[in-house]
Chain A
Amino acid sequence: MTAVATRVRGTLGRFSPSRAARALGIPGVAAAALIAVVLTVTLLAPVLAPYDPDQPDLFNSLAGSSAAHPLGGDALGRDVLSRLMWGARTTLSGPVLIICLSTVVGTALAVTAAWAGGKVDAVVSRLLDVLFAVPGIVFALITVAVLGPGVTGVVLGLAVAYTPYVARVVRSAALRERNMPYVAAAWVQGRSAFAICVRHLLPNLRPIIVAQSVSALGFAVIDLAAISFLGLGVQPPTADWGLMVKSGLDSATRGQPLEALGAGLLIVLVVAAVIVLGDRLGKEGDQR
C-alpha cells in the first residue's frame, strides 16, 4: 500500500503539467500546443476533413475561398483544406520514421563507441564525421537513384543522413556519463556492460537523446518536403505539403495562392515549433 503510494507520488513528482510548463517557458508551451493541435488534426483527418482529399471537382478548380471551401480548390478542384489535413499525415509520418530510425541507430552507435573506447570509438567517430559532412539531400538522391523515386528510398537516405546528427551529441554525453564513478561501481559489482548501458547510461542520456531527435525532426520535415517538392519523394496524387507547395505555386500564378500559402505556412510553423521545443527540452536536460 505504502509502496504503491510512494510509486504514484514518484511518478507524479517526475511529471507534473505545471512543472513541465515552467521548464519549457512561454515559447516552449506555445510550440508544444501548436504541435498538439497539428497532431490532433492529423489523427482526426478522416473525421474532420470536409471532403475526400483526392476527389476532383471541376466546379471548384482554382476557386478562391468560399463558405463550402474555406481555402478554395487546387488545379483539379480538390478541396485544399481537406488536402492540408490529410497531407499532414504523409508530411509528418516520413520525418517521424526518419528520426526514429536515426535515433535508434545513432544512439546504439554512440553508446557502443563511448563504452568501448579505443579503436571502436575512433572508427565510429570517423564514420560519423564523414556522414555529417555529406548533406542529407545527397544521401536521399543516392537511395532514390537505387530504389527509384518514392517515400521509402528518401526515408532510408535521410535516416542515414540524420544518424550522425543524433549520434555525435549522444556520444559525447555518453563519454561523460561513462566516466562517472557510479558506472565504475556497477562494473566492480560485476554488472555486465550491456546492463550498465541499458539500465544506467540510456536513462541518464534520455533528455539529451529526446532534445536532439526532436530538433532533428524539424530539419527532417524541411528536407523531406524539399525532396517531395523536387518530385523525388512523395508522389502525386498523394496529398503532401511539399507537393502542395509545388503544385500551389503553379495555381498561385493563376490566381489561387491559398494552396501554396497554406502548405508553406504549415511547414514553417511546424518546423519552427519542433525546433523551439527541441531547444527547450535540451535546455531543461542541461539543468538537471
Chain B
Amino acid sequence: MSDFVIEAAGLRKEFGQAVAVDDVSFTLSRGQSLAVVGESGSGKTTVARMLVGLETPSGGSISVCGRPRRGGRVSSAERRRRAREIQIVFQDPYSSLDKLQRIGDVVETSLALHFPLTPAERRRRALELLEAVGLAERHASMLPRQLSGGQRQRVAIARAIAVEPEVLVLDEAVAALDVSIQAQILNLLADIRERSGISYVFISHDLAVVHQISDFAVVMSGGRIVERGDTRDLLRDPQEEYTQALRAAVPRPGWKPTRRQPA
C-alpha cells in the first residue's frame, strides 16, 4: 500500500460555464503537510470541498488513504467511514459552529457518531479534547457567542480531531484571526501533528503563515497549479512572477503599517 494519504490526479471542477479548478494534481504523504496557496478566487476552497466530499469533481480522481473516492450517492455508514479519513476546519469561526449548540455538545456529538462510548466516557473524552486545544472545562457549557474567534476556531479543531482523522484540511483556518492568535493556533496544530501523526492540507493566501506549518506547497492561480515545491525554496526563490507577488504581499520584519491616505 502506498503511504500517500491523499492522491489527487487531474482534478477539475466546473460551475456551469466557469472552470473553478483545472487539472490539479498532488499527493500528500502520511504525517506531512501540504500547503495550497493562491490569491482569492484561485480555486483553493473548491479543491478543499472536493477532498472532503462536499463537491463532486467534474473530472479527475481523488484517493484518500489508498481508497478511490467515487461520487454519487454514498451510504451513511460509508460517509462515517470517510469522515474518519478526512476532516475539515473552515475559515469563518463565527458560522462554523451552530449558535444554539453548547461547546461540550459540539465535541460530544462528534464522538457519539464515531465511537461506542458511554455518556460518562464521552463527556470525559470531550473535556480531554477541549483541553487538548487549550480550552477549559468551563467552556463546555458555553454557547459559541460566549467565545472569541480564536476560541471558536479551537472548538472547530477539537470537533474535527475528535473523529481521529488521518487528514485534516484547514481552509484559511487562521485567516480571520489576529496575528498573535494565528501564531497560537499554528503552534497548536504543530503540537497535534507531533502527537497524532495527522497530515494537514493547509490552505492559505498567506505564504508567511504557510511557512510555519508546511513542508511542501503548491501555488494556485486561476484554478491551476502554477508552481510547486519545498515551502522554504518557494519562499526564498520563487520562480513564477505570481508567486513572487504573493510573497511580496507578505509583511516582513521591518515592515510598518502605513496610514492610508484619505482619497
Binding site for B on A (CB under 8 A): 3, 6-7, 10, 180-182, 184-185, 187-192, 200, 203-204, 288
Contacts and interface: CB of A to CB of B under 8 A. Distances in A.
Contacts of B90: 181, 184-185
A189 B97 contact: no
B113 A190 contact: yes
Contacts of A181: 90-92, 95-96
Contacts of B109: 189, 191
**Most A CB atoms within 10 A — which of B86, B90, B92, B98?**
B98
Interface string B113-152: 1100000000000000000000000000100000000000
B18 interface: no
A203 B100 contact: yes
A204 B98 contact: yes
B54 A188 contact: yes
A185 B156 contact: yes
Contacts, number: 62
6 nearest A-B residue pairs (beta carbon): A190-B80, A190-B83, A181-B96, A181-B90, A6-B141, A190-B79
Contacts of A192: 76
A203 B105 CA distance: 15
A50 to B, nearest CB: 48
Interface residues of B, number: 33
Contact of A184 (B54, B99, B101): B54
B174 interface: no
A190 B95 contact: no
B12 interface: no
Nearest to A187: B54
A188 B76 contact: no
Interface of B: 49, 52-54, 76, 79-83, 86-88, 90-92, 95-102, 109-110, 113-114, 141, 156, 159-160, 163
A190 B159 contact: no
A185 B159 contact: yes
A191 B159 CA distance: 13
Contacts of A187: 54, 79
Given A3-B141, A181-B90, A185-B90, A190 B96 contact: no
A164 to B, nearest CB: 27
A3 B102 CA distance: 13
Contacts of B100: 203-204
Contacts of A182: 95-98
Contacts of A7: 141
A49 B160 CA distance: 62
A10 B145 CA distance: 13
A10 B141 CA distance: 9
Contacts of A191: 109, 113
**Most B CB atoms within 10 A — which of A3, A182, A188, A203?**
A188
B87 A188 contact: yes
B156 A189 contact: no
A11 to B, nearest CB: 12
A204 B99 contact: yes
Contact of B83 (A188, A200, A203): A188
Contacts of B91: 181
A200 B100 CA distance: 8
